[in-house]
Amino acid sequence: MSTNPRPARLLTQNKDLRRIGVWNWTLPAWAGRLADGRTYNTCPSAGVCAQVCYARNGTYRFRNVLARHEANLAYVLDDLPGWYAQMLDETGHRRHVDGWVRIHDAGDFFSDDYLRAWLDIARARPQVTFYAYTKEVERFRRLVEPDPPTNFRWVYSFGGRQDALLDPTRDRVADVFPDGEQLAAAGYADQSDSDLLAVVGPPLVGIPANNIPAFRRRQAGRSFAQWQAEQDAQRAARRARGRSQEVGR
Ligand code: SF4
């Protein structure tokens, strides 16, 4: 059982989100270990993005910040019904009427049950609009796309292991570009002015890369979609070589 204390409030706001009237729920990014020793992976479909993950850097790594995000995750893992009831209660407050909730500053819809819980919350709170970035393409195709709540919006983000399932002519997609020129040249619209543009703006959502030198070096002038496609092609070539060596034995 978790040793992480239950968070008193589930939704938070930083100054950027306050400016655009958005409240935020988050998990810890990607992989880690809870205080009780359990390991976790909140982004099971993360790909190259994990190598330059904004949420595994800077203030996100401060002990108190990470502890708070891990307490959120422990709550979901240990008591999904209790977490659901508290989230339902919180999003029912009048301050959220006609407002927005961003699901995940970091982390993703790591299980079917967790995603279903969010869909149920959205259906029960029609006066709030919920939105998310996700790399869980297959899970959304199966559980969300057939019958999405009208107040639940999402954008698929490139840089994950399921990128190959995405179709930018049909899906709303976000990509991270090394600079604004490449972003515009690719036909994407910059969402820097407001995070809400990710779900209410043009469907090709462009995000300029973080200005962290080590991350920029790793990204090496590629968009996340390009970088992931390169990595997928290299992996496929390695697999094909492995198979042909087995046949040759
Ligand atoms: S999906 Fe987001 S939070 Fe998870 S590893 Fe990738 S960039 Fe980080």
Please name every residue paired with 153 in a beta bridge, in sequence order, or none if there are none: 131
Specify the residue with its C-alpha closest to ligand 1, atom 7. 53
Q: Apex CA 238: angle with CA 249 and CA 213, to 5°?
A: 155
Ligand 1 atom at shortest distance from the alpha carbon of 45: 1
The pLDDT of 192-201, averaged and rounded, is: 96
Give the helix/strand (H/E) hosting 75: helix 63-78
2 has a pLDDT exceeding 60: no
- CA 70 to centroid of ligand 1, rounded, Å: 15
| % of the chain surpassing 70 pLDDT | 98
Report residues whose beta carbon is within 6 angstroms of any ligand 1 atom: 29-30, 43, 46, 49-50, 53, 55, 106-108, 135
Specify the residue with its C-alpha closest to ligand 1, atom 8. 53
Question: Please, which pLDDT band fits residue 6 given cuts at 50, 70 and 90?
Answer: confident
Please name every residue paired with 23 in a beta bridge, in sequence order, or none if there are none: 101
- CA 7 to centroid of ligand 1, rounded, Å: 22
The pLDDT of 87-101, averaged and rounded, is: 97
Predicted TM-score of the model (pTM): 0.94
Detail the DSSP E strand segments found in 26-67: 31-33, 39-41
Question: Please, which pLDDT band fits residue 131 given cuts at 50, 70 and 90?
Answer: very high
pLDDT at position 153, please? 98
- CA 79 to centroid of ligand 1, rounded, Å: 24
The pLDDT of 14-23, averaged and rounded, is: 92
Residue 53 exposure: Cα atoms within 13 Å on the Cβ side: 21
Give per-residue pLDDT as tens, 32-45: 999 999 999 999 99
1 has a pLDDT exceeding 60: no
- CA 49 to centroid of ligand 1, rounded, Å: 6
pLDDT at position 3, please? 62
DSSP of 167-219, one letter per residue?
A: -TTTS-EEEEESSHHHHHHTT-EE-TT-TTHHHHS-SEEEEEPP--HHHHHHH
5 has a pLDDT exceeding 80: no
Higher-confidence residue of 241 and 77: namely: 77
Ligand 1 atom at shortest distance from the alpha carbon of 157: 1
Domain locations in the chain as residue ranges: 15-248
249 has a pLDDT exceeding 80: no
Distances (CA, A) of 35 to 67, 183, 190: 9, 40, 39
50 has a pLDDT exceeding 70: yes
pLDDT at position 243, please? 84
Give per-residue pLDDT as tens, 205-227: 999 999 999 999 999 999 999 99
pLDDT at position 41, please? 98
